[in-house]
Amino acid sequence: MRRTATCLALLVAVLLLGLPTAAPAEEGNIARVIFIKPKPGMTAQYEAGTKNHIEWHRAQKDTWTWQHWMTISGEGTGTHGVGTFGHTWDDFDNPAVSEEADQADVQANIAPYVESARVTYWAFLKDLSRPGEGEAAMGSVTLFRLHPGKESDFRHLIKKIRDAAEKTDRPVRVEWYELLNGGDHPTFALVIPRANWAAFKPPAQSLSAMLEEVYGRHEAEQILEDLAKLVKHVSSEIFRTRPDLSYIPEKK
């Protein structure tokens, strides 16, 4: 009976306050990411249609960038990702090109070869990230699905790890994102760009050793222990960027 009452109270809180309890949206930190699974045996047709659609964006003089990548390991192997980054919520009310015309061209050139598509929205977490410059040839994504209500604690611990990486000049560039809509909540994504396969080799100093150098052994162990308690599930994938399927607007 007590468990039922607790679940009911949680449901009421969700309905009243909304889900998830995401980090406040900063200016220009919203990303729309579409995950696309081509029909079996139709990847070549999907890619050809995507190239046609890129030319449509070019003809429309679209000012938004659309980055494209393909997952090559993990549960999403064979799935394509298409994302536009650095937006405010208002941007989606006033897109650079007509959404109706955009979707019409998608239906003509891409949709016939697509088995499924999922639209998601993410917040780029600048204060937790250490981004690099330029676009890497490939990268890894690690998804952290947390226990409900643990977002703030997770951000706090990741911030401590980020601060330690800055102090030790750790040679790893990372990007953190929080899922706002389109999947299980709460979910955070750690993206690590990689120049090539050799770049997947771990740095000489382990994460625990780095934390111990900055915070001491006891606090370093506590950070990792506390972090493990917040996480319900972890999964990982590798992706390869596809510049040939991406759209980059011409510089003015």
Spell out the domains of the chain, with CATH numbers in brackets.
Answer: 30-245 (3.30.70.100)
At 167, is the pLDDT very low, low, confident or very high (cuts 50, 70, 90)? Answer: very high
Which 8-state DSSP code applies to residue 128?
Answer: G
Q: Pull the structure tokens for residue 138.
A: 């490939």
The percentage of residues in the chain with a pLDDT greater than 90, rounded to a whole number, is 86
> Helical H runs in the chain?
2-17, 43-59, 99-109, 151-167, 207-215, 217-230
Confidence band for 24, pLDDT divided at 50, 70 and 90: low
**Is-above-0.85 flag for pTM?**
yes
| Numbers of helices and strands, H then E, in the chain | 6, 8
Whole-number Cα distances in Å, 45 to 2, 80, 81, 133: 55, 13, 16, 32
CA distance 123 to 92: 14
Q: Is the dihedral of CA 43, 46, 51, 52 positive or negative?
A: positive
Residue 195 has pLDDT above 70, yes or no: yes
Tens digits of residue pLDDT in 78-134: 999 999 999 999 999 999 999 999 999 999 999 999 999 999 999 999 999 999 887
Q: Is the pLDDT reported for residue 156 higher than 50? A: yes
Q: Which residue has the higher pLDDT, 179 or 17?
A: 179
Answer yes or no: are the C-beta atoms of 185 and 22 closer than 8 Å: no
Mean of all residue pLDDT scores within the chain:
91
Rounded-to-integer distance, Cα 234 and Cα 243, Å? 28
